[in-house]
Amino acid sequence: MFAERALGTRTPSELIWSVALWTVMGLFVANFMLMILAVLVNSFATQWFGTWLPPAFTTKWYVSAWREFQLDQVLVVTMMVVGAVVVISGLIGVPAAYALARRNFPGKRFVLLLLLLPLMVPPITYGIPLATVLYEARLAGNIWGVILANLVPTVPFVVLVMIPFIEQIDPRIEQAARLFGAGTGQLFVRVLVPLLAPGILAALLLVLVRTIAMFELTFFTAGPSSQTLVVALYYAVYAPGVRANQSIDAMSIIYMATTLLWLMIALRFVNPVQLVGRPR
Amino acid sequence: MSGGDGLTGRQRLSRWLANYEVDGVALLVLPAIACMLLLFIYPFLHGLILSLQPRSGEMLDNYRKFFSDPFLYDTIWTTLRLAFPATIINVVMSVPIALLVRRFRRQRLLTAILVVPITLGPVLIAEGMLNYLGPQGWFNGAIVGLGISGAPVRLIHNYAGVLISLVVAGFPFVFLLTLSFLSGLDPSLEKAASTLGAGPRARFRHILLPLLLPALAVNFCMSFVQMFSVFPAAVLLGEPAGATRVISIAAYQAAYEQYDAPMASTIAMIMGAVQLAIVAIVLGSRELFYRGSTGSGKG
């Protein structure tokens, strides 16, 4: 009780420090919000140049962006890629995390290193050789290549996020299930998955957000018909040709809304602090 | 293999494997290993071999070419000049902000706000900065209007633009890692120090910081990886032909503009080597800090 009050008391210098910190953070957040607002306002503007606010508002840019960039197709591809990556990395990653959390087999440290490496090397480094290999195997340039490339960072990510979650489960629960004759498959479906649901959900939702945002790997492996939203957006900005930047802004807002929706769902289920796990 | 014999052989094998804790459960790791070997190790080795087979000349010619052409080798310095400050700014900023958020009652809401930049993606950040920080944007309008500066400040299409966008885009991950480590620290350590009369500054210097440093080193590495492969921001917000011609632009041009896969692989290998060297240095210096249990034992 006494100790807690001591932690709460403030000296004048600490007060100044705290006020300064809040100010800096507030400025950061305010500027950041204004930046998003600028894009939002511009995406609804008929035209906007050099004034505080645009003269008139319209929604035509959303319609034209949708048509011009074939957003329906892009969104379908994005959903297919992201869905496949989430499901496959869950199916591969969760069992692997279980094995790594519960067994001490020889070479375990090596396996952990193998899983840590893709997260410690920039995506471009392995993205370029990977794209070369996939093109030689005739797997790149289509949706399969994009899915395969995106598995490289997500499988290790799921494994490393899930290990601490699994370690928290009392092994005696599994022993009891085994005693009653459950095989490994039944153990997973009936016992582990329900117990691990929050962890699995957290890991997979984060994989989802990461995959939507993964630019480099998709960029290197996608063909014209297998671009995800983030790559299509980049091409929209970068490709030569006259394009109204309102139209690009409208598309960015659609992108943000898509990701934000999923992130908000993720945050409803889990405390964001748990998402990254505890570094050891 | 005949039936009975095979069974005992299999039994013997499984008993022998069980001694090493290899059983059905341990085998569950195999798909992940196969995935990594096929999609990560194999392409990496392939790239390495490819980089040693230049279109013309000897084995190491691609590497020689890279390190003799300032247009190519300068990209390493250009990239480091962006990635280092951006990572350090984020890691340093994340500590006081995480300390503040930890004490705040509506921690979750605040965290959610700070995590939003994850959802923006490189293009929206770029578009936002071009709009907001551009010469006609609100930011410069306010600065000139308030008389802080006579002329608009140039914050886009240069080094500053890329740096700002890296800081904005990279902050959420850094912050989440720092915050999660802080929440994992045993609060009784701080309470004990406070009972013994340590003020906030002393508590931070002698208790929190030493405990945090190893985690910050990991945090630095994780974030540096992202910064080091900066690509869209450098193109959209920088001067991709000049001050922000980062190494990934060079790799991209080799691969998709000159269609020189060996050279592109060479640049990718050099990128990986530089990145891993820096990770090794940072994590190596971790040995100098305190290592041990910092949690409260609740797991």
Q: What whole-number percentage of chain B has pLDDT above 70?
A: 93
pLDDT tens for A186-245 read 888 888 888 888 788 878 887 888 888 888 889 889 888 888 888 888 888 777 666 677
Nearest alpha-carbon partner for B234 in B219, B249, B252: B249
Whether residue A98 lies inside any domain: the answer is yes
Q: Which residues pair with B58 in a beta bridge?
A: none
Residue A222, min C-alpha distance to chain B (Å): 13
Q: Cβ B199–A275 below 8 Å, yes or no? A: no
Residues A130 and A191 in one domain: yes
Identify whether the C-beta of residue A189 lies closer than 8 Å to the C-beta of residue A206.
no
pLDDT tens for B108-154 read 777 777 777 877 877 888 888 888 888 888 888 888 888 887 788 88
Contacts of A272 in chain B (CB under 8 A): 108, 111-112, 115, 176, 179
Residues A224 and A270 in one domain: yes
Nearest alpha-carbon partner for B263 in A203, A132, A25, A153: A132
Residue A158, min C-alpha distance to chain B (Å): 10
In CATH, what is the architecture of B63-288? Answer: Orthogonal Bundle (1.10)
Count Cα neighbours of A99 within 13 Å in the Cβ-side half-sphere: 26
Query: Which pLDDT value is given to residue B298?
Result: 42
Q: Between A150 and A53, whose confidence is greater? A: A150
Domain ranges (residues) in chain B: 1-51, 63-288
Of B41, B47, B299, which has the smallest distance from its Cβ to A132's Cβ? B47
pLDDT tens for B145-179 read 888 877 888 888 889 889 999 998 888 888 888 88
Contacts of A151 in chain B (CB under 8 A): 35, 39
Q: Cβ A234–B229 below 8 Å, yes or no? A: no
Q: Cβ B136–A49 below 8 Å, yes or no? A: yes
Residues A157 and A119 in one domain: yes
> What total of structural domains would you count in chain A?
2
ipTM value: 0.80
CA distance A132 to A127: 9
Q: Cβ B129–A35 below 8 Å, yes or no? A: yes
Confidence of residue B225 (pLDDT cuts 50, 70, 90): confident
Residue A81, min C-alpha distance to chain B (Å): 17
Whether residue A280 lies inside any domain: the answer is no
* DSSP 3-state of A57: strand
| Low-confidence winner among A237-246, B69-78, B233-242 (lowest mean pLDDT) | A237-246
**Three-point CA angle B271, B29, B1, nearest 5°:** 125
Q: Cβ B120–A256 below 8 Å, yes or no? A: yes
Residues A244 and A121 in one domain: yes
Confidence of residue B6 (pLDDT cuts 50, 70, 90): low
Confidence of residue B292 (pLDDT cuts 50, 70, 90): low
Length of chain A measured in residues: 280
Any B CB within 8 A of A248 CB: yes
pLDDT at A96 over 60: yes
Q: Write b or e for each residue in B66-101: b if 16 or more Cβ atoms lie within 10 A of its Cβ, otherwise e.
A: beeeeebbebbebbbbbbeebbebbbebbbbbbbeb
Any B CB within 8 A of A208 CB: no
Residues A81 and A140 in one domain: yes
Measured between CA atoms, the residue of chain B closest to residue A231 is B123
Q: Helices in A191-244 by DSSP H: which ranges?
A: 193-213, 216-221, 229-238
Measured between CA atoms, the residue of chain A closest to residue B231 is A216
Residue B47, min C-alpha distance to chain A (Å): 5
Residue A101, min C-alpha distance to chain B (Å): 10
Residues A52 and A185 in one domain: no
Of A2, A35, A114, which has the smallest distance from its Cβ to B132's Cβ? A35
Of A11, A102, A279, which has the smallest distance from its Cβ to B218's Cβ? A279
Any A CB within 8 A of B42 CB: yes
Query: Which pLDDT value is given to residue A82?
Result: 93
Of A4, A168, A255, which has the smallest distance from its Cβ to B124's Cβ? A255
Residues A50 and A129 in one domain: no
Whether residue A66 lies inside any domain: the answer is yes
Residues A132 and A267 in one domain: yes
Query: Which pLDDT value is given to residue B15?
Result: 76
- List the 79-108 stretch of A: residues with Cβ below 8 A of B: 91-93, 95-96, 98-100, 102-106
Residues A228 and A252 in one domain: yes
Nearest alpha-carbon partner for B125 in A162, A256, A15: A256
pLDDT tens for A5-24 read 444 556 777 788 888 888 88
Could you list the residue range(s) of the whole structural domain that residue A229 is in?
62-275
Residues A145 and A177 in one domain: yes
Query: Which pLDDT value is given to residue B122?
Result: 78
